[in-house]
Amino acid sequence: MNEHKEKILSVCNQICKDTLMETLDITYIDVGENFLLAKMPVTPKVHQPDGVLHGGASVALAESVGSAASYIFLDGQKFFVRGIEIAANHVRSIKEGFVYAKASMLHKGRTTQLWEIKITDEEGNLISNCKLTTIALPRK
């Protein structure tokens, strides 16, 4: 991994301290030209009562990765980035292991951005497909 990628991932992981991302053990693991990838362990703390990954934890993962990607690709020093809408389709359950969320940019507007976040298991099976709209507001 080159130095630039390592720096971006380091910043993403450092800003997770004392946040929901730290609570969920989300770790940013790869970044490319128009994507960001993170992983999250599937343990009882993110289960729903019947022992499978809670859809809300999947949505929190998706919004975390999509918002972090917006921050990276839109120059977070100049803009505040906020999620304004998220939709998720949960297509498969998982009880243990890791899930991976890859946020890919579908549209980069000056104010709003559209992200597709695919959440997969360790074998690449689709767990959830999410769509996130973010807004970039100038810092004053």
Q: What is the DSSP string of 2-35?
A: -HHHHHHHHHHHHTTTTSHHHHTT-EEEEE-SSE
- Cα separation, 66 vs 36, whole angstroms: 8
User: Does 63 qualify as catalytic in the annotation?
Assistant: yes
Task: Identify the active-site residue in 3, 6, 33, 63.
Answer: 63
Burial class (CB in 10 A: 0-12, 13-18, 19+), 41: middle
Q: Which helix (H) or strand (E) holds 55?
A: helix 55-73
- Cα separation, 132 vs 135, whole angstroms: 10
Nearby residues of 26 by Cβ (< 8 Å), 6 or more positions away: 16, 38, 39, 40, 61, 64, 65
Q: What is the set of active-site residues?
A: 63
